[in-house]
Amino acid sequence: MNELSSTMTAPCVTKIGDKGLHITLSDGGAHYFNYYWLRDNCPSSFSSVTRERSFDIFHLDTAPRPNLASFESDALVINWATEDHVTHMPLDWLEAYTVAKPRYDPADLPRIAWYSDHYLNVPRFSQPELIADPKKRADWIEAILVHGFAIVTNMPDSNEGLTQTAELMGYVRPTFFGDYFDVKTHIKPTNTAYTSAALELHTDTPAEEFAPGIQFLHCRVNTVEGGQSLYSDGVAVAHDFRKRDPEGFKLLSEVSIPFFCEHDTYDSRSRQTVIELDQHGEVSGLTISQHMADIFDLDQVFLDDYYPAFCRFGKMLQEDKYMMRFMMKGGECMVFDNHRIVHGREAYSATIGDRYLRGCYVDRGEMRSTYRALVGEGRFKT
């Protein structure tokens, strides 16, 4: 008998408790499982057709409790005393839940920070290949999850081409600007982006309660003088800010500030923290825009600390170490995480050449959902 098999024991029920089952599994360890949890997650509780839970635990007249429980073959078998039902729970499935932890998420990937020299290493994908190959689509979305930024090349010069590309990831998500927006010089602009002026580094639509997650910026033509695109990785900057200025980081990640965007037909307002943290306490993104920051309504004495930290971080975003500069080309589409990547542009001349970008958004949840469907096993897939 090898060393591994010698450590394995036969699973057994050690006690039928008042509120839960005490069992020993093949790892030799003693484990406890709550009766409500066991009944609610019986394999028969889920529909293989809808892939949803079909059993409604609210309809039980009394708390679930077994009269018999034992292991048969590779399953825990429970005869419930409170209803005419028998649960057959696979042993390998049960062993995956001996420790309380979230279900494995293939879209929960570590982020890789990048800096000003990143342009040549930006992940690039051809639009026709993305359409034709699900594996390429998975690689593309993974690049966004990990790097926050990718370039799609060989884009059709059409409105439909942008829609087709965005819908490979999820549904187009409207904002108060509409389903799509056109970045070109307007006679009466309602946004600084619709002028030829320089545009400071920012995240889009911070005044929305839930700002859109993934931005698509399709360059249809770009023949003007000037107008270099500016991109910085908010994760890289915030990581370094956390080391350089831990107190400032704490303020910007814990205290929300007001944002607004208003014109004749809309008045959007929200409160956001400048630095966003994920469920692991890691930096997942930013919300920042000097154009759409409302009047800070925090205590004036508190602002003695907050404003300097806010300015230190804003200046840090613009340091040459972090800022990637390049000229967008016609036929390219910038795809980036609007909660992670801050973007802007240098001023350009509106009298020579033409510059036209068309954009839209997809929510990050839609992107992660598509990625999981492409690469994950799911709960019901075979």
Helix, strand or coil, per DSSP, at residue 41: coil
Instruction: Mean pLDDT check: name the lowest of 4-8, 310-314, 316-320.
Output: 4-8
pLDDT value for 26: 85
Paired tokens of 182: 């056109």
pLDDT value for 189: 41
pLDDT value for 177: 82
In CATH, what number does 116-375 get?
A: 3.60.130.10
Instruction: Mean pLDDT check: name the lowest of 55-59, 234-238, 260-264.
Output: 260-264
pLDDT score of 292 more than 60? yes
Q: What is the pLDDT of residues 345-368, one digit of tens each?
A: 887 776 778 889 999 999 999 999
β-pairing, 124-126 vs 149-153, is: parallel
Q: Do residues 342 and 201 make contact, with C-beta atoms less than 8 angstroms apart?
A: yes
DSSP letters, 232-296, are EEHHHHHHHHHHH-HHHHHHHHH-EEEEEEE-SS-EEEEEEESEEE-TTS-EEEE---TTTB---
CA 223 to chain centre: 34
pLDDT value for 188: 41
Architecture of the 3-95 domain: 2-Layer Sandwich (3.30)
User: How far apart (Å, rounded) are the C-alpha atoms in residues 27 and 168?
Assistant: 44
pLDDT-based confidence at residue 138 (cuts at 50, 70, 90): very high
pTM of the model: 0.87
Q: What is the pLDDT of residues 1-45, one digit of tens each?
A: 344 444 567 899 999 999 999 999 988 889 999 999 999 999 999
Sorted by where each begins, the domain ranges of the chain are: 3-95, 116-375
Q: What is the DSSP letter of 175?
A: B
pLDDT score of 341 more than 90? yes
Which residue did the predictor score with more confidence, 291 or 149? 149
pLDDT value for 382: 38
pLDDT-based confidence at residue 191 (cuts at 50, 70, 90): very low
Axis crossing angle, helix 246-254 with helix 300-317, rounded to the nearest 10: 110
pLDDT value for 223: 85
pLDDT score of 89 more than 80? yes
